[in-house]
Chain A
Amino acid sequence: MQTYRIQHRTTYEYRYPVTISHHAAHLKPLTSHEQTCQSFRLSMTPDSSDLVERRDYFGNTTHLFSIQRAHQTLEVESRSHVEVAAQAANLAEIATPCGEIRQAMADPSRTDLLDAKQFLYTTELTPTLPELQAFGQRFLSDEQPVGSALAAMLQAFREEFEFDPEATEISTPVLEVLEKRRGVCQDFAQLMIAALKSCGIAACYASGYILTNPPPGQERLIGADASHAWLSVHIPGHGWIDLDPTNNLVCSDQHIRVAYGRDYDDVSMLSGAVTGGGEQDIKVEVTVHPVEI
């Protein structure tokens, strides 16, 4: 169990005045059996008069708001207080053969798996392609127990891929990430999701945070001081397991969960449609403090 105080500030600087802007935010941490969001505050400068909070199709909290006044700078800040009780699953114990999972997911009569099946199909950012299937099949062959297969897959990300913020952009397709073997957390998460889907296994995209400054003696994780992304894979009989390919980790209470969706587009922390503005400069500042109890 770990408690965190999170501050997340996004600042947009526009070249020309923006006359109207509309935004959607997935910033409020989830409350689930693994985690409790104890407090949350969202503010923006200039202020908005029409902030609406809702739960989206996937059960995440979404905020919608607009700024109806000309502005050249917009600052959106969220502060939250979250208690995370999640424990890391032990992959070695999960011995279901991959082939069996594939079969269950492909069986139209398994309506008990509907919640997982919505994360089984192609999206624009996580396509199912032969190349991705070939990559996945290296680990996920029919007889292979899924736990060790996933562990091997995570290991492969650590060994064969390099974290490189310069190599990709938000729009870089996962196939290119696979070819270049470089990218950031979002690329690795989406690549692993796409590979799993291409092999008939359901996986979803997770957006959230990890601890900024690790406890003494522990290594500082990649993705701190920014928002982080990983994935969750569904194993019939076991449920969802969160995996962080960027850090070769099975997630536990170091990861703060904000939203789950099919890919980045479903849950991007802040998105908007602005009128005017021209070029924009975006600055993101995130701090995650563990709270001593």
Chain B
Amino acid sequence: MSLANNWMGGYAPPSGFFDEFLDAEGQPRPHWQTLSSKLGSIDQDGWQRRERQLVRLIHDNGITYNVYRESETDPRPWNLDMLPLVLPQAEIDRLETALSQRAHLLNLVLQDVYGRQTMLQNGQIDPFLVFASPSFLRPCHGLLPARARHIQLYAADLTRSPDGNWWVLGDRVEAASGLGYAMENRMLMSRIFPKVLGDANALSLSPFIRQFCRNVESLAPSRTDSPNVAMLTPGPRNETYFEQSFLARNLGYTLAEGSDLTVHNNRLYMKTIAGVQPIDVLLRRVDSSWCDPLELRNESLLGIPGLVNAVRQGNLVVANALGSGFVESPAMLAFLPWFCRSFLGESLEIPSVATWWCGQPTEMKYVLENIDRLAIKPTFYGPGARSYFCPQLSSAEKQDLVARIKAQPELYCGQEIVSNATTPVYEDGRLQSRHFQLRVFLVPDGNGWSMLPGGLARHAEQKDDLIVSMQAGGESKDTWVLRDPLSKSSRKTSRGSEPPSIRRNANDLPSRTADNLFWLGRYVERAESQARLLRALCHLLVDQIGGESQLCALPFLEQIMPPGDDAKRLATEDQLDFPLAEAAVLDATYDLESSESFLSNLTHIERTAERVKERLSIDTWKRLQMMRDLARRERPQTNSLLEEDTILLLEASLDDLSSFIGNVAENMTRSQGWRFLQIGRLIERSLAICFLLDSAFQRHRQDDDLLSKLLDWADSSITYRRRYLNTLNPSRVLDLLCCDVSNPRSLAFQAETLRELLAALPHGNFGSRHPIDQIALRAYSRIGLMEPASLLAGGDKARRGKIGAFFEKTRSDIMKLSTALAQQYFAHTARSVESRPKTFIG
């Protein structure tokens, strides 16, 4: 093995730690040998190309980790190192055995605490650790049958000490995150190293995922072939929202927020556009205490009132069980060896990092005497509770901490600081060492547990950082477990694209999602129409500075003025005030203070899209990502439209918007979700047409300049000229933009398409003509019956009255339609199931 021959030579991990790549003699460990020569043979161009590809994949897929920090309003892009953490299968097999015992034990602890409480009765646990724990949820006592499994997904944070042994830093069962990121890391690695990954014989993650799904589906309280599973998310602001939506999409479960769900007659239902749909199993990513404002934390807006009782009545299974976060307390680490003895008669197969609970006098004394080399952790996590890494504290901070421990010792635990092992990362064409931790996952499998042959490795940002934290800016790695040719286990290796199968019920569109898709459609269309208006204005103002024809900008300016501001102030009798108009256009484009500005609209698109991310295809999502970057543009310093920035921004936005719309048209399944998005667009476009034409035909003189600008705005100039050559005639223009069903930018086209889309929504099944259809029909007929020539005929006053009335009525119908849709489909509340038996008379 000649490391020195390629770029991987020269890797020098710090001494005193275990390194994953090189052994104590500086030789690659056996399981690295083949892989390191493969990776070593990739030249620097190859690495750089992959690095760019990786950055693009992460950006395009919108993979993020949100950090709650005031200075950071943008989600942070995901960080993935290009080198995997590599482990031999034998190591994972050993860990699986050891961690299975631990998962089993934690489950027994939960059964006991939420059941007979023998640990308390026998004095094996200080009552403080149970009764004072905010994670011991009294309404969950006796909630599950005595032998029920509380944990369906167990995660452990591991670290490796200098002697090569693994230690558990913490157990995660409350709402264990990271599985989605681990899957997504593998997906990324399989894209940038398809061949290396295949040749390396890395074990596939899919069987584990399938096992997880099988378990989850088998939990359904009433036996059914296709139980309904939903994943409860705290929402897009949560730091791991990306992975929640990624997991939900890949497991084929619906991602639901608390407001999507409702409890009726002690059963959980999801509010969908087709009515309510029962939910059998709820995978939760919301902490237990926040899951039910009725019986748990009553200020919770994330939860579902009545959820606990639905479980209690046996109509729902929640995974992991409500209240399971109890075992996450750092103090548990100190007691697990005893629990293991008493519950299993065994000793712990994998040790926890040494932990002392200060609620015991001897332990407190030890912690205070050794505080300089310890970490101090809160006994219970909660608001204001944080961990301290004592070697980094100033002496004043340490004194303060000691005083607090002495005042309330039971609230603190001391924990040994483990010298985390190191692993190489790829940095600027070289290997650098980083300290890392590994999060692994286990799910029940028959009577035992099986472990994901992989995991989420996280490493520190800087070379000598001993603390590994995603919050503090750490990075992640994929974990490859290399198949041991001699192993008897039947694990499969990774091939091709992972992960797996998607099943989806077509009729499960949650009302909230329909609402968001509808608004996404509206915002996209609004942005498009705005960009067209603003672009038209830029041309008008810039091309014809000082010209009289600038007055035809007024109807357009009227469309972009903020509410309460009148475009009239921008012009005198026969002259437009250029600086004022220019400022109005710039404000309408860039002003983030106004929620109506163009850039604000792009932000609305981004925010709304974030909420329905799991419904959009990757390619569609990419278009939105590009708009994200545009939404960050700043107003030109010169404050002038003569600068090209603004027009370029508008052009670029129009490109991205139309490619988004094109993508939706090309790639989105004609599902109910797609319909809501389209309906939103049509409604918005109808409104835009009404407003502009109303303004242009009612209040202004329809000279050739204005008419041709209107045709440009509606992308209909060519059609018009083909039909009528160059003679511009108001009633012909009005006909083309209003009544011509073949023109996709005409009002009639919107009305007709709307009717078709509405007909496919579930309200049609309710029999008699629904208000939605009545309104749509009314608008459709009015537009169809309108005759441009007679509308424009007569004296000035009469004409204005007719035009005004026509557009006013049409607009009002469209608004009513929007409200009726909201009432029927988006009122996340009003729908309830009728509990009467299904009998039909006649």
Binding site for B on A (CB under 8 A): 19-24, 49-50, 52, 54, 56-58, 64, 66, 68-70, 108-109, 111, 114, 117-118, 120-122, 130, 265-266, 271-273, 275-276
Chain A residues with Cβ below 8 Å from B264 are 20, 50, 66, 68
Which one, B121, B131, B262, B298, contacts A20 given CB within 8 A?
Answer: B262
A56→B123 contact, CB < 8 A: no
Known: A52-B266, A273-B305. A108 touches B126 (CB 8 A): yes
A114→B263 contact, CB < 8 A: no
Q: Which residue of B lies closest to A24 (CB)?
A: B294
CA distance A275 to B265 in the complex (A): 16
Give the A-B pair count, Cβ closer than 8 A. Answer: 80
Chain A residues with Cβ below 8 Å from B138 are 56-58, 266
In the complex, whether B128 has a CB less than 8 A from a CB of chain A is yes
B289 → A minimal CB distance (Å)? 12
B145 → A minimal CB distance (Å)? 16
**Count of interface residues, chain B, beta-carbon cutoff 8 Å:** 33
Name, among A56, A66, A109, A117, the residue most crowded by chain B CB atoms within 10 Å (CB to CB): A66
Known: A121-B132, A275-B829. A50 touches B266 (CB 8 A): yes
In the complex, whether B139 has a CB less than 8 A from a CB of chain A is yes
Chain B residues with Cβ below 8 Å from A276 are 829
A273→B298 contact, CB < 8 A: yes
Chain B residues with Cβ below 8 Å from A64 are 294-295, 306, 309
Q: Which residue of A lies closest to B133 (CB)?
A: A121
Chain A residues with Cβ below 8 Å from B122 are 111
In the complex, whether B249 has a CB less than 8 A from a CB of chain A is no
1/0 contact trace for B283-294 toward A, CB 8 Å? 000000000011
CA distance A66 to B294 in the complex (A): 11
Chain B residues with Cβ below 8 Å from A111 are 120-123
Chain B residues with Cβ below 8 Å from A19 are 827, 829-830
1/0 contact trace for B255-297 toward A, CB 8 Å? 0000000111110000000000000000000000000011100
In the complex, whether B832 has a CB less than 8 A from a CB of chain A is yes
B298→A121 contact, CB < 8 A: no
Chain B residues with Cβ below 8 Å from A49 are 265, 835
Q: Which residue of A lies closest to B267 (CB)?
A: A50
In the complex, whether B127 has a CB less than 8 A from a CB of chain A is yes
Chain A residues with Cβ below 8 Å from B128 are 120-121
B305→A22 contact, CB < 8 A: yes
B313→A69 contact, CB < 8 A: no
A108→B829 contact, CB < 8 A: no
Q: Which residue of B lies closest to A273 (CB)?
A: B305
Chain A residues with Cβ below 8 Å from B312 are 54
Within 8 A of A (CB), among B806-834: 827-830, 832
Chain A residues with Cβ below 8 Å from B121 are 111, 114
In the complex, whether B141 has a CB less than 8 A from a CB of chain A is yes
Chain A residues with Cβ below 8 Å from B127 are 108, 114, 117-118, 120
Chain A at the B interface: SS class: mixed
Chain A residues with Cβ below 8 Å from B123 are 108-109, 111
Which one, A21, A56, A108, contacts B139 given CB within 8 A?
Answer: A56
Name, among B262, B309, B312, B313, the residue most crowded by chain A CB atoms within 10 Å (CB to CB): B309
CA distance A147 to B120 in the complex (A): 29
Q: 22 pairs across A/B with beta carbons < 8 Å?
A: A20-B262, A20-B264, A20-B829, A22-B306, A49-B835, A50-B266, A56-B139, A57-B138, A57-B139, A57-B141, A58-B138, A64-B306, A66-B263, A66-B306, A70-B830, A109-B123, A111-B122, A114-B121, A114-B127, A120-B128, A271-B294, A273-B294
B291 → A minimal CB distance (Å)? 12
Chain A residues with Cβ below 8 Å from B313 are 52
Chain B residues with Cβ below 8 Å from A57 are 138-139, 141
Supply 11 further A-B pairs (C-beta < 8 A) apart from A68-B264, A121-B132, A266-B138: A19-B830, A22-B306, A23-B294, A49-B265, A52-B266, A52-B309, A64-B294, A68-B832, A108-B127, A117-B127, A120-B127
Chain A residues with Cβ below 8 Å from B263 are 22, 66
CA distance A2 to B138 in the complex (A): 33
Chain A residues with Cβ below 8 Å from B126 are 108
Chain B residues with Cβ below 8 Å from A109 are 123
CA distance A275 to B138 in the complex (A): 25
B44 → A minimal CB distance (Å)? 59
Chain B residues with Cβ below 8 Å from A265 are 298
Which one, B294, B827, B829, contacts A22 given CB within 8 A?
Answer: B294
B831 → A minimal CB distance (Å)? 9
Q: Which residue of A lies closest to B312 (CB)?
A: A54
Q: Which residue of B lies closest to A106 (CB)?
A: B128
Chain B residues with Cβ below 8 Å from A275 are 828-829
Chain A residues with Cβ below 8 Å from B294 are 22-24, 64, 271-273
B262→A122 contact, CB < 8 A: no
Chain A residues with Cβ below 8 Å from B305 are 21-22, 66, 272-273
CA distance A269 to B156 in the complex (A): 41
Q: Which residue of B lies closest to A122 (CB)?
A: B132
A58 → B minimal CB distance (Å)? 8
